[in-house]
Each structure stands twice: as C-alpha cells, then as structure tokens.
Copies of this chain bind each other. A is one copy, B any other.
C-alpha cells in the first residue's frame, strides 16, 4: 500500500498471533465438507459419552449399589431420545437451510418472547458446554496423572485459552484441527468397546458387589421414582450439542442442508453406539469407584471402563483412549466457540444485543463473541473450582428449554407452510416437542436444588436485558430518523484556537484554523502572569488580525477556563457552533510520548457534554 506508514507495534503483534486477514470473498471457500463438518459440530455431542454414564451412575448410587443395575434401562431410554430428537432436527435443517437454530425457529413461529427465551437458554448452555467439556477433559488427564488434580482450575483455564485462540485464528483451521482427535476418539472408543465385549464374553465376571442393605426400601415408591427420574435427567447431558448442526447449516459446503443432515445422522448414530457401549461395559466392572462415595479421589468411570477393557491401567491403549478423550472434550468446547458467537451475532443483528457483536472480524469469525464466551466460561470454572460434578446439574436445562421451544416452533411452521410431506414432518416434530417438554419438566424438577435454579433465574434476567437493549435501539432510531421537523440550523461558527505558546506547532494549527469558515479567536489560558507580555508580543507578530483572548486560571487548570469560556459564548450566542482547535506536538516513539500531556483529550472529555462543540486536534510531527 503506497506511502502508508508502518503499522503500529500492537497491530503487528496482533497479526503475528492471529495471522493475515481473510477477505469476505473467500467466505464460501472457508466452508466445511461433511467430513470436516462432523468433527467441528459433533465433538460436543460425542464427547458427552465421557461423562454421561458416570452422571447416571453417580445419582443411582445414592440409593445404594443395588440400584446401579437400573442404569442400562435409563441408557436405552436416552438413546431413544437421541434418535427422536435427531429426527426432529433433521426436519429443521431442511426447513431452514440458511441455519435454523432454536432462536430463529422459535422467533419466527412463536414470536419474540419464545425466541428470546430460546436464545437466552442457548447462550447459557454454550457457556456451560465450554466449562463442562474443559473440566471433563482435564479429568481425563488427571485420571492418568492424579498429581495434577490440585491444578484443576489452572489447567482448565489454560485449555479455554487455547480453544479461544484457535477460534480467533479462523474457521478453516478449526475443521483441520478437530478432525484428527474426533475421529481418533470415535475409533479408539470403538476398539475399547470391542476389547471390552471380548473380555466380558471370555472372562467370568464377578458382577457388581451388591450392597445387601440398600438405602431405599421397596416400599418407598415415590423416592424410587424420583431417583430414577433424577438419574435420567443427569444422563440427558448426553444430548447436549445435538442441535449444533442445525444452528450452523451455513458453515457447510453446498448443498448445505443435505450435508448438514448427513452429519446429524452420523452424529446421532455414533453417539448412540458409543454411549450404549460404555454403559454396558460399566455394568461389568467389579468394583466401580463412584462419586460421591469415593469423595474427591476422582477417577472417572470412562477411565475404569478403559482399564477393564484393556486388562489393566498400564496398557498403552488406556493412555490412547484417555488422551483422545481429553482431546475431544477440550475441543468439544469448540462447538460452543463456533456457535455462541454466531448466535450472539444473530441476536445482535435483530437489535437485542450491542450491534458490534454482529460484525464479522477480519478473520471471518466473530471476535467479540469468542472473547465474551471465553471470559464467561473461565469465570464458571473458577467459581466451581473446576469440579465437574458441581457443574453438571446446571447443564442440560438450557438445552432442553431451547429444544422444546424449537420443536413447538417447528410444529407451528408446518401448520403454516404445508409444504409437500408436511404431515410426516409435523408428526415427528410433535412427538419431539412433547418428549422434550416432558424431559424439561423432569430436569427442572429433579435438578432444581442442585443448581438448575440458577439457570431458571438467569433466563428471565437475560430476557429482560434483551428487551431493554432493543427498546434503547428503537428509541435511538426514532430520534435519529429524518422527519419533516426541520433540523436545527446553526446561527454561526466560532473557531477557538488554543495558544499556550507561539511555535511551529501552533502556526500549523493557525494555518488549519484559516481553512474553516467562521470567526476565529486565539485563546490563551494564563498559568504564569510573568510570561504573558512576551506571549502577547509574539502573537502580535504572527497572528495577523486574529484577536488573542486571555483567560485567567484561578485554579491553575488549563481545562476549566476554556470550558467556562465556551459556555459563555454559547449563552451569549445561542445556537452557535464552536470548533476548538488544539495543537499537539506528536512524538513518534512511545517513550517520547510519555513526556506529552494530552490536553486535547482532556479538553474533549470536558467538553463532551456540550452540544455544538467540536474539538479538532491538529498534530505537528516531531523528529
């Protein structure tokens, strides 16, 4: 670029970290094939098998070890739910090829309120996705290296930064980065299930050692039901992330909808297989160690399954499985990093969030959203000290709020559109919406005291915030709209040139002042009476017919007398426009800049609340 100065140091650092900018015209080429799309959008969903089985068992064990046998029925119920919801979302993908997240589907079909609640629910859940996935990923590592347990929080924050950084560099790299760990994870877990199945078939199992005195007696039907429902609700964390594909249809290569639907089907299939496999193997482990029984000597169920399958903790395959688990979990946060900023940009585009969140950065990603997400999820990790079992109860309630609103929205959509085959689609979405609604009630009821209440309180707060922002934008737009009412026309223009001394910098400001129409006055604020006559002499020789106004400064401030003078002119000449010209000698090096006072900035701040006053900063370059 011709004669443009060197970019600033900050600018160069930013470039070095984030790489060169990507032009909008390349946006299409940045899109994902199904092969790269599966890892980007399914890491959240698939990785949940690393903790979903454990979440179910962790609740069941509260009733006594005998209840652990119920686990397999709950797992089957959840797989059924996965299949039905995946079918439901496949309808959405085809109906909304431009990207149909719950926010859009609910807004368009159920109105603003439902849409905003769906949006708020999803935002909360994306934050939790990052916190939960990173916390679980760190636990997969600490299962191998328990001495790291005391650094849970630091490790989690480190990985959040890594993922955020990868996303700031742009989406193409995301697909490439996440393919290997996701496919590696799927493959290694399938191998593990295979080994485990062989072992279960050949080695006589002890079965689980049953506690002969369960905590629950048979007579307590209500408590039994509550426990089963609560463990089912805990297992629903396996469904988080399943909607990610429908939110990001536009990230796929053409044909977008078909590719997205293909990815969704594969994801649901793999999720079901992996989840069922791990759940079945978990039943075969003789001495399962479970929170909260084993308190804080944390070893995950997934790790115990791997140890069982490969015949001991020192098999190298155990390490492979754990490392892939850690990788996919840490990268699962990426689903949220891809979708959270996309969603905030949609909400911002509609005016419910600050508009600058809707702007794509120069790397074709939404920088602001990425940074907000990293900060919020990092805060959660710190607050909950990186402990997965405390974070999990908050999870899933937001997801199912959004699921339910989205599915109901789809039912309304089919009623309105009546496209070919709408009868089949509406039936699928109807079943989906009823099921999601029931699951939502179960989760809210059974997890309320464990933390779900936090989310239920946050939802209306975020909704209120959305509405306030929208109202403010509306009011701003009304005030700014051109109407028949005439705009106030200024009654004149006075140019005030600040003259602290007479030098080349001031002369160049004077030269500029002459390029403005209107009466020009030179203004001097006296801090030192002794130097005044000298200054007045100098001005007389260079100022021509421009009068020098001298302002006393009883409180030794350069700013206040100037502000008072501007106020005086404004009151004696109502409707006048005033331009204040401040000359500034500019050094080029930062350490030289330390010597300069920013009078222009101070004056600008002081005059910021005055109407019809413009501060113009004329710079004279040194060196």
* A residues with CB within 8 A of B: 1-5, 8, 21-25, 354-356, 359-362, 469, 472-473, 475-477, 479-482, 487-490, 493, 502-505, 507-508, 511-512, 515-518, 527, 542, 553-557, 563-564, 567-568, 570-571, 577, 579, 585-588, 592, 594-595, 597, 604, 608-611, 614-623
Interface pair A621/B611, CB less than 8 Å apart = yes
Name A595's closest neighbour in chain B (CB-CB): B354
28 contacts between A and B (CB under 8 A): A3-B570, A5-B610, A24-B553, A24-B555, A354-B595, A359-B556, A360-B556, A361-B556, A362-B555, A362-B557, A472-B595, A475-B623, A476-B595, A477-B503, A487-B507, A487-B511, A488-B508, A490-B515, A493-B515, A515-B516, A515-B517, A515-B518, A516-B516, A588-B609, A608-B619, A611-B621, A615-B616, A616-B616
Q: Which residues of B contact A355 (CB under 8 A)?
A: 595, 597
Interface pair B503/A480, CB less than 8 Å apart = yes
Interface pair A555/B616, CB less than 8 Å apart = no
- Select A609's contact among B5, B493, B563, beta carbons within 8 Å: B5
When all copies of this chain in the complex are counted, the total is 2
The 3 A-B pairs of least Cβ separation, nearest first, read A480-B503, A23-B554, A5-B609
The docked-state distance in angstroms from the alpha carbon of A604 to that of B567 is 26
Interface pair B25/A567, CB less than 8 Å apart = no
Q: Which residues of B contact A516 (CB under 8 A)?
A: 515-517
- Select A571's contact among B3, B505, B515, beta carbons within 8 Å: B3
The docked-state distance in angstroms from the alpha carbon of A609 to that of B475 is 37
The docked-state distance in angstroms from the alpha carbon of A588 to that of B472 is 12
Using A4-B567, A567-B1, A567-B3 as known contacts, say yes or no to A555 and B356 having CB atoms under 8 A apart: no
Q: Which residues of B contact A361 (CB under 8 A)?
A: 556
Name A22's closest neighbour in chain B (CB-CB): B555
Q: Which residues of B contact A5 (CB under 8 A)?
A: 609-610
The docked-state distance in angstroms from the alpha carbon of A385 to that of B78 is 59
Q: Which residues of B contact A505 (CB under 8 A)?
A: 480
For the complex with contacts A479-B623, A482-B502, 16 further pairs of A-B residues with Cβ separation under 8 Å are A1-B567, A356-B597, A362-B556, A472-B595, A480-B504, A480-B505, A487-B507, A487-B511, A488-B508, A489-B511, A490-B511, A512-B577, A515-B577, A517-B517, A579-B616, A604-B617
